[in-house]
Amino acid sequence: MRTQHIAPAVLAATALLALTGCQDAKPAGAGPVATGSGTARPVSPPATTGAPAAAQAPAKAGTLPDLVGKGLQAAQDAAQAAGFSRLTSHDSLGRERAQVFDRNWKVCSQTPAPGPAAADVGVDFGAVRLEESCPASDPGPQPEARGTMPEFGGKSVKAVRAALPSNTSFTIKDGREGRMVLQESNWQVCAQVPKAGAPLDGRPVELIVVKFGETCP
């Protein structure tokens, strides 16, 4: 058999072509391809920034009507019709009674006063029952006692409980007939131990009480 001989020049050309093909093929995951004297770098996408937060719109203003003397339900309806929805009420006599049926109460005071006001302002009505007279001044809710015993004369038992720490121990006695004190907002304090000004140090509190409208012994 005759063996075919390949010329050296042909072998060299074949090797050169194979080498050139390997260089042109870019493996997956390889870096940027060199072009000329520089290097082509990946172009980063433009930075995106969120849209600027919209400026908070100022609260709309409205005009709060004069609602003193109206029934509590009617006053609340009128305030809502004028654009005010944050409505609360309290017992103007300081007895801490809840206004369960608003139609049974009338308005003695309002905060803020009638006039221009932000529509998101809270409106608070001081009220008494329809058959009661409004007080000369509204004492507002009994503030929480801090450090010393307040003066509770004339206050309701319910107001006393609201003002003192929740872990306070109470003894409550009817000062007239030995009756049971059930609805505490209907009973007023005639005497108290400890006296006003004594430190609040966890001592039990004793109250002598009568019903509102009765005379203390």
Report field, pTM of the whole predicted structure over 0.85: no
Question: What's the pLDDT score for residue 37?
Answer: 43
Q: Which pLDDT band holds residue 47 (cuts at 50, 70, 90)?
A: low
User: Domain 61-129 belongs to what architecture?
Assistant: 2-Layer Sandwich (3.30)
Q: Which pLDDT band holds residue 71 (cuts at 50, 70, 90)?
A: very high
Q: Which pLDDT band holds residue 34 (cuts at 50, 70, 90)?
A: very low
Q: Which pLDDT band holds residue 164 (cuts at 50, 70, 90)?
A: very high
CA distance 136 to 118: 28
- Number of residues written out for the chain: 217
Domain boundaries defined on the chain: 61-129, 157-211
Among 92, 136, 98, 130, residue whose Cα is nearest residue 111: 92
CA 21 to chain centre: 73
**Average pLDDT over the chain, rounded to whole?**
82
Q: Which pLDDT band holds residue 191 (cuts at 50, 70, 90)?
A: very high
State pLDDT tens for residues 110-150: 999 999 999 999 999 999 999 999 999 988 777 899 899 99
